[in-house]
Structure 1
Amino acid sequence: MKSLKRYQEKAVEKLLSRSKELLDEKKEKATIVFQSPTGSGKTFMLSKYIEDLIKEYPDKEICFLWISIGAGKLHKQSYYSLKNNFYGFPSVYLLEDEFHGGRSHIERNEVVIVNWDKINTKDKAGDWSNALMRDSERYNFRDVLYNTRRLGTLIVMIIDESHQNAGSQRAKELRDEIIKAHLTIEMSATPELSDFDERVIVNAQDVIDEGMIKKEIIVNDGLDRYTSDEISSVELLLKTAYSKRFELAKMYQTDEIEVNPLCLVQIPNGEVAKEKQEQIENFLAKNRITQENGKLAIWLSEEKINLEMLNDNENKVEFLIFKQAIATGWDCPRAQILVKFRDKGSETLEIQTVGRILRMPEGEHYPNDELNRAYMYIDTHEFNVKKEEYNPNIIKTLSSKRKDIYGELKLKSYYLNRVDYGDITSEVWGDLERVFCEYFNLEIGEYEFFDENKKIVSQKISLEKSTLQNSFMLDKHLDTSEFDKLYTKHITSQKKVSIGYSQEDLDDLFTYMINTNLNGYAPKRSFWSMLSAIRRWFAHYLGINAMKTPNGHIVQRDILLSNYEIFARLLNQTTLIYKDTKKKEIETKVQELEEWKEAWEIPHQKAFNPQTYQKYDYKLSLYEPCYLSIDSQIEQDFIEYLESNKDKIVWWWQNGSEHMAQNFGIKYNTKSTFQPDFIVKFTNGKIGIFDTKAVGYQEEDNKSKAEALQKYIKDENTKGRNLFGGLVIKEGEYFRINQKDSYKSFKESFEDWEYFNLKEQK
């Protein structure tokens, strides 16, 4: 049974919490925007949300409408996905199959999948076009909705890919006058709704870090292999994409991964579409990829071929030709290559189309990083894409190759996928329970004695809500002649005004209370774990349940705020104690996720992001062309110094700054990967490993890295390697290097820093 990823758990919890609040408030037209990146598993998250919401309302009548795009039978895809996720409960029905006149209302806990096109159209006279909506002697869908509401059943409407189908005037009529849902969830990677009550956002980087989305997309990789005057642009893109798909398929086979990579080919709209399709099909036929042998699929409005089980990882289809229809709501994680022949569209559509190749086939990254990338081939020299839409380094259009002078290094390299996000996890519950219970003199695990526990707790705090006031300065005059000196003064005022807190203010103050007592943990990632632990303690020990007690979440909040100093201290103590718990979590994860390469080599070819990398004319760079991302002056100066010693150096290579397995890494501390800045091959056969640093900056971290590097060099040299290196600084006009086993900063012991003089190298 598939389980939720950590970011998915948090998203479902947020959706559930906000839904409960809005439903309990009985707010009219309550709406939550759920913004989650393509490939994050929105349908799976919403299926778990539906299950959990049903559990939260065991005594209430509730049902669900799932509004889905009809084009390409995508509503049926939603139907089958939900049925698979639910394992029999709750029941899922297609509107057109189940509600064709015989049923008067939607039953409790039922999920009804609605094809948007079937309920959204009217004829010229203004009458509903589809029989499901038209007046007749039997029940139409409008009657079903009316009867469902009249019976007191709560309707929760989920609009899938809401940016496509929820903004028109007809859509508003359906939503506000006919469906009249008690709660609407607008779900999209790029929502456009502006009128909503709550927003739940899934961070794209969280999705990448958990292996759901590919690490990067490379544009026009290897396109220079087939360029000639005789080859057309169409054939060039297809030939390169065909070769790339073949290479990837071989890699999957070698690693015994049962995935057949799929190449998507997008043709333009308009009159050129048919001609382009014929060109593509002719090329593929020459390479024995046809509709007849099942290796070519077509997904056009007028033609749909070989689409059955297309999303199965072992499906035999290798190429799929499509237009726009596939750009929304489509799910095929084995899609890894996109060939794009189309006119420029909107920036949003560009993101969505590229998003079709973002998903990982099995929801995890592979040891071979080639399989963790997607590839796009496009017939233009430029295109627009929103900056940092998914990953700030994801679109890479520059490419370099290793020079032939390179010889094998066979270095031992270390890579550890990120295990510490600087956050508090659900494991904090045990620490919070212990801290709270010890302070209030409660027995841990005594969950059933609510009244007795309340009496004990009341001896130290008030369980009644107190009136909180906010104090603002009033009528304070600042002399503008002293404006430039205001930063040196503490501005206060004898005149103040007290203002009561609004519910929004109280929520903000509650959030502030938690976030300011996290002791360095990331608020964005940690808040919900802390809130969940707080709510759990109140429910277990005081019987105040955030979901089941009337306004329970507000009661809990007000008790904490009414006793601010006490609970702030307890939260602070909890997060301090949690550090030991966190350490154990990390140690366990490190053992599971660390990866060693015994014979690492500098990649033969690498792609670079033109937004962060710049081309340089350096002759000794191992990569040609030379693209670099230079972050500091000392790094620039060090490269210039290497270039000035051509008689001593064969080549130098700048290590990648991205946290990836293809870069060279050394393990340091218990949970970190150190990626030194440079590897240099000298004419005397030595290999140098150097990391440039500014004097006196982050010395504690420098010590860990420097000592790990020296230990690495010593260990490898016992195996016959010829390595040297260390941390490099620039003092005045001269470079200095520290090669000591025990590191001291330049300020602590300048004697430990030798002059780095390549002229004296033998």
Structure 2
Amino acid sequence: YTNVQSILVKKEDYNPNIIKHLKAKRIDSYEPIELMSYYKSRVDYGDVTSSFTSVFESVANKYFKVEKNFTLVSENIEKVEAKGITLNLKLFQQEIIVDTKLEGKSFDELEGEVSGEAFAKLSIAGNDLQVMFEQAIKDNLRSFRNVKRSVAPVKTALYNWFKKYLGSKQWPEEIMLIQKTFLQGSNRAILETILADSIETYRLVKEKEVQRKVQESEQIYQYELPAELFYNEHTDEKLDYDNYAFTPLYLPVDRSEPEKRFEELLNSKSDKITWWWKNGENKRDFFGIKYEYEGKIFTFYPDYLVQLEDGRLGILETKDVGDRDGKTYTKAKAEALQHFINTNSRKGLFGGIAIQRNGRWHINSQSIYDWSKNEHGSWDDWEDLVL
């Protein structure tokens, strides 16, 4: 029995880990393309990691002139207080108790006398304190956009420093008192400055860490279309186009409008095309090209591979005529693609950025991709796409 008035059942939203059970097989007429593909595991989530602990320790110790000999707790406390940090634990304990509206002068006096309701109030006060503490961390993460993954490592770094150099392990309610110490008026300004400086210092450390992990995860291998691929009816749609490389033909439902229009072009040129294929991304199953942008390494997954009857193999990336990334990511991808083609020994390889303009498809195969010309009305770098 239920008193629920009505139940609304909704289709599950897209999940990248959704089960794919619809199988498509590569066509029997497929012949090896022998392209070298690039793949790297994802190593950068835009977050602060455990390596931040040593950076914060170094920056904080330098500021307070604290010795690395962490057995000198009393001397360290004197140095920290000399720099303006208040470490009045009794005061902080009493402030937490006052915030909960409990009677008593210290945590010790509450032992054995605190009711369940009082403990609940104390717990709520602790939760509020943690929210404020975490917000202070979030406010200082700067270029690290993955807040959810970053907060915990930063908290750990702070807790470890207090424990290692100020002996907080001996404090009652250690975590609450560290948070209270950090957030106390004059303390907060000093400690947030140290935290911000540590985050900025860590940015360079993280960049080197990512570069090392990228190099460790890089794979370059001879690529062929997989023998079979799997799809899901919620994320992919079944279509009826000619000469697709897999049968049956499934394509992602969230394809862009330029991609859909390009597929119509491919279908209309079926007499010139042996097979064509919509590439995927972020897996070894798909064809990738290495490129760099702003000092970072990425994998470019071109939209389409097109095998023509005349033996040519096209690697094509579709864009809208108003591409907003023309001077940034698209430029980096376009130039990486031309470098790949020009340094590849495979005969008949061609490709570039493909754009439909005034009803006709054009391709840019220039080694230097200059989108600013397009913005000024010049399309001299573009040729008709001939399939």
TM-score, L = length of structure 2? 0.79
What corresponds to 1:577 in structure 2?
201
Partner-residue secondary structure (3-state), 2:176: helix
What corresponds to 2:37 in structure 1?
413
Matching residue within 539, 554, 557 for 2:179: 557
Amino acid at match of 2:338: Q
Amino acid at match of 1:701: Y
Partner-residue secondary structure (3-state), 2:214: helix
Q: Assess if the C-alpha contact under 8 Å between 2:363 and 2:385 holds in 1.
A: no
**Shift of residue 715 of structure 1?**
1.2
CA 436–756 in structure 1, closer or farther in 2 if over 3 Å, else same = farther
**Shift of residue 696 of structure 1?**
3.3
Matching residue within 595, 616, 628 for 2:239: 616
What corresponds to 1:533 in structure 2?
157
CA deviations on 1:419-467 (whole Å, 9 max, x unpaired) are: 2222221111222122222332334x13222222222222323233666
What corresponds to 1:641 in structure 2?
265
State the alpha-carbon separation in 2 of the partners of residues 504 and 582 from structure 1. Answer: 31
Identity %: 35
**Shift of residue 590 of structure 1?**
2.1
Matching residue within 326, 339, 362 for 1:736: 362
State the alpha-carbon separation in 2 of the partners of residues 566 and 750 from structure 1. Answer: 55
CA 438–731 in structure 1, closer or farther in 2 if over 3 Å, else same = farther
Partner-residue secondary structure (3-state), 1:619: coil
Q: Assess if the C-alpha contact under 8 Å between 1:744 and 1:752 holds in 2.
A: no
**Shift of residue 741 of structure 1?**
1.9
Matching residue within 116, 126, 149 for 1:503: 126
CA 542–615 in structure 1, closer or farther in 2 if over 3 Å, else same = same
What corresponds to 1:400 in structure 2?
24
What corresponds to 2:140 in structure 1?
517
Amino acid at match of 1:553: I
Partner-residue secondary structure (3-state), 1:647: coil
RCO comparison, higher one (Cα < 8 Å, 6+): 2
Partner-residue secondary structure (3-state), 2:17: coil
Partner-residue secondary structure (3-state), 2:197: helix
What corresponds to 2:315 in structure 1?
689
Q: Assess if the C-alpha contact under 8 Å between 1:419 and 1:671 holds in 2.
A: no
CA deviations on 1:585-637 (whole Å, 9 max, x unpaired) are: 12222232222212x11112211122110011111322121100142111111
**Shift of residue 513 of structure 1?**
1.3
Partner-residue secondary structure (3-state), 1:409: coil
1:463 is the counterpart of 2:87? yes
CA 552–637 in structure 1, closer or farther in 2 if over 3 Å, else same = same
**Shift of residue 752 of structure 1?**
5.8
State the alpha-carbon separation in 2 of the partners of residues 435 and 426 from structure 1. Answer: 16
1:574-723 equivalences under 5 Å are 574-598=198-222, 600-629=223-252, 630-657=254-281, 659-669=282-292, 671-694=297-320, 695-698=322-325, 699-716=327-344, 719-723=345-349
Q: Assess if the C-alpha contact under 8 Å between 1:416 and 1:671 holds in 2.
A: no
CA 675–749 in structure 1, closer or farther in 2 if over 3 Å, else same = farther
Q: Assess if the C-alpha contact under 8 Å between 1:691 and 1:726 holds in 2.
A: yes
Matching residue within 50, 69, 78 for 1:446: 69
State the alpha-carbon separation in 1 of the partners of residues 167 and 377 from structure 2. Answer: 61
CA deviations on 1:79-116 (whole Å, 9 max, x unpaired) are: xxxxxxxxxxxxxxxxxxxxxxxxxxxxxxxxxxxxxx
State the alpha-carbon separation in 1 of the partners of residues 25 and 237 from structure 2. Answer: 15
Matching residue within 45, 57, 67 for 1:433: 57
State the alpha-carbon separation in 1 of the partners of residues 200 and 332 from structure 2. Answer: 24
**Shift of residue 528 of structure 1?**
1.6
1:138-153 equivalences under 5 Å are none
Gaps of 5+ in 2: 1-10, 100-123
Q: Assess if the C-alpha contact under 8 Å between 2:26 and 2:226 holds in 1.
A: yes
**Shift of residue 711 of structure 1?**
1.1
Q: Assess if the C-alpha contact under 8 Å between 1:519 and 1:575 holds in 2.
A: yes
What corresponds to 2:191 in structure 1?
567
CA 446–700 in structure 1, closer or farther in 2 if over 3 Å, else same = farther
CA 431–750 in structure 1, closer or farther in 2 if over 3 Å, else same = farther
1:239-258 equivalences under 5 Å are none
Q: More displaced, 453-462 or 548-557?
A: 453-462
Q: Assess if the C-alpha contact under 8 Å between 1:393 and 1:609 holds in 2.
A: no
Q: Assess if the C-alpha contact under 8 Å between 2:364 and 2:383 holds in 1.
A: no
State the alpha-carbon separation in 1 of the partners of residues 355 and 69 from structure 2. Answer: 60
State the alpha-carbon separation in 1 of the partners of residues 46 and 260 from structure 2. Answer: 32
Gaps of 5+ in 1: 1-385, 471-500
CA deviations on 1:244-277 (whole Å, 9 max, x unpaired) are: xxxxxxxxxxxxxxxxxxxxxxxxxxxxxxxxxx
**Shift of residue 650 of structure 1?**
2.1
CA deviations on 1:208-242 (whole Å, 9 max, x unpaired) are: xxxxxxxxxxxxxxxxxxxxxxxxxxxxxxxxxxx
Partner-residue secondary structure (3-state), 2:209: helix
Amino acid at match of 1:503: G
Amino acid at match of 1:660: K
Q: Assess if the C-alpha contact under 8 Å between 2:126 and 2:176 holds in 1.
A: no
CA 533–723 in structure 1, closer or farther in 2 if over 3 Å, else same = same
State the alpha-carbon separation in 2 of the partners of residues 430 and 705 from structure 1. Answer: 37
Q: Assess if the C-alpha contact under 8 Å between 2:48 and 2:150 holds in 1.
A: yes
**Shift of residue 527 of structure 1?**
1.6
Q: Assess if the C-alpha contact under 8 Å between 1:656 and 1:663 holds in 2.
A: yes
Amino acid at match of 1:715: T
Partner-residue secondary structure (3-state), 1:628: strand
CA 544–393 in structure 1, closer or farther in 2 if over 3 Å, else same = closer
CA 752–739 in structure 1, closer or farther in 2 if over 3 Å, else same = farther
**Shift of residue 750 of structure 1?**
4.2
Partner-residue secondary structure (3-state), 2:233: coil
Count of residue correspondences:
337
1:109-258 equivalences under 5 Å are none
Partner-residue secondary structure (3-state), 1:621: coil
Q: Assess if the C-alpha contact under 8 Å between 1:734 and 1:755 holds in 2.
A: no
Amino acid at match of 1:692: T
Matching residue within 331, 349, 352 for 1:726: 352
State the alpha-carbon separation in 2 of the partners of residues 594 and 526 from structure 1. Answer: 25
State the alpha-carbon separation in 2 of the partners of residues 655 and 418 from structure 1. Answer: 19
State the alpha-carbon separation in 2 of the partners of residues 673 and 643 from structure 1. Answer: 28
CA 757–727 in structure 1, closer or farther in 2 if over 3 Å, else same = closer
Partner-residue secondary structure (3-state), 2:230: strand
Amino acid at match of 2:204: D
Q: Assess if the C-alpha contact under 8 Å between 2:39 and 2:288 holds in 1.
A: yes
Partner-residue secondary structure (3-state), 1:724: strand
1:295-310 equivalences under 5 Å are none
